[in-house]
Amino acid sequence: MLLKGKTAVISGGAGARGIGFATAKTFAAQGARVAILDLDAAGAAKAAAELGPEHVGIGCDVTDKADCARAIGEVLAATGQIDILINNAGITQAIKVWDIDPESWARIQDVNLKGVLYLSQAVMPHMRERKAGAIACMSSVSAQRGGGILGGAHYSAAKAGVLGLAKAMARELGADGIRVNCVTPGLIQTDINAGKISDDARVKILENIPLNRLGVPQDVANIFLFLASDLSAYVTGAVIDVNGGMLIH
Among 8, 9, 19, 225, which residue sits at the site for ligand NAD (rule: CB under 6 A)?
19
> What is the distance between the alpha carbons of residues 27 and 148, in angstroms, rounded to a whole number?
28
Of 233, 127, 243, the C-alpha closest to 181 is 233
Instruction: Name the one range near ligand NAD by CB under 6 A: 17-25, 94-102, 168-176, 201-209.
Output: 17-25
166 binds ligand NAD (CB under 6 A): no
Give the strands of the sheet with 239-242, arranged side by side. Answer: 56-59, 33-38, 7-11, 84-87, 133-138, 178-185, 239-242
Instruction: Name the one range near ligand NAD by CB under 6 A: 36-44, 129-137, 173-181, 197-205.
Output: 36-44
The answer to whether 13 and 20 are in contact (CB under 8 A) is yes
Least distance to ligand NAD from the beta carbon of 91, Å? 5
14 binds ligand NAD (CB under 6 A): yes
91 binds ligand NAD (CB under 6 A): yes
57 binds ligand NAD (CB under 6 A): no
Burial class (CB in 10 A: 0-12, 13-18, 19+), 77: exposed
Give whichever of 12 and 152 is closer to ligand NAD, judged by the CB atom. 12
Name residues whose C-beta falls within 8 Å of residue 245's C-beta, 6 or more positions apart in sequence.
209, 210, 211
Q: Length of the chain in residues, anyone?
A: 249
> What is the distance between the alpha carbons of residues 153 and 59, in angstroms, rounded to a whole number?
29
Which position's Cβ is nearest ligand NAD? 90
Q: How many CB atoms lie within 10 A of CB 248?
A: 10
Give whichever of 57 and 90 is closer to ligand NAD, judged by the CB atom. 90
Among 7, 12, 116, 127, which residue sits at the site for ligand NAD (rule: CB under 6 A)?
12
Residues 102-131, interacting with ligand NAD (CB under 6 A): 111, 115
Instruction: Name the one range near ligand NAD by CB under 6 A: 32-40, 94-102, 202-210, 224-232.
Output: 32-40
72 binds ligand NAD (CB under 6 A): no
Least distance to ligand NAD from the beta carbon of 163, Å? 12
Of 115, 138, 135, 112, the C-alpha closest to 8 is 135
187 binds ligand NAD (CB under 6 A): yes
> What is the distance between the alpha carbons of residues 102 and 172, in angstroms, rounded to a whole number?
31
Q: Residue 204, SS3?
A: helix
Give whichever of 117 and 138 is closer to ligand NAD, judged by the CB atom. 138
Active site residues: 155
**Contacting positions for ligand NAD (CB under 6 A):** 11-12, 14-15, 18-20, 38-40, 60-63, 88-92, 111, 115, 138, 140, 185, 187-188, 190-193
